[in-house]
Amino acid sequence: GESVGLHLPTLSVQEGDNSIINCAYSNSASDYFIWYKQESGKGPQFIIDIRSNMDKRQGQRVTVLLNKTVKHLSLQIAATQPGDSAVYFCAETWQKGGADGLTFGKGTHLIIQP
């Protein structure tokens, strides 16, 4: 898996702008990918997921893109709001509901500027 650095990358965007958070995953056998949002002092909260047989999935204000060729995952957040400020993690596993646990990416700290 990926090595974990001491500091999370930071992305700062203006309120109302769109943001794109990127993640490189490590295991080509992973079948299921999830984005989590973690606010300060809280556990990770599910945002959106995608299976490996898809390359795009949309939710409310969020879109996840999956590029299996280069093992890359991205999260797009439209019209960012102050409540979107948090750390965002991608996670991968073998299958949804599987018994293998999750492998998390490094995380990105999203800061929404007023």
What is the nearest approach in angstroms of another protein to the Cβ of residue 49? 6
The binding track of 8-47 with respect to another protein, each residue x by CB under 8 A or -, is x-------------------------x-x----xxxxxx-
Here the contacts of 103-107 (C-beta below 8 Å, separation 24 or greater) are 103/1, 103/25, 103/26, 103/27, 103/30, 104/36, 105/2, 105/23, 105/24, 105/25, 105/73, 106/2, 106/4, 106/5, 106/8, 106/9, 106/23, 107/8, 107/9, 107/38
Structure tokens at 110: 């999203």
Under rule CB under 8 A, which residues in 43-82 are in contact with another protein?
Answer: 43-46, 49
What is the nearest approach in angstroms of another protein to the Cβ of residue 100? 8
What is the nearest approach in angstroms of another protein to the Cβ of residue 69? 24
| Residue closer to another protein (CB basis): 65 or 102 | 102
Q: Which stretch binds another protein (CB under 8 A): 10-18, 50-58, 77-85, 96-104?
A: 96-104
CA distance 20 to 71: 16
Residues making contact with another protein (CB under 8 A): 4-8, 34, 36, 41-46, 49, 89, 91, 96-107
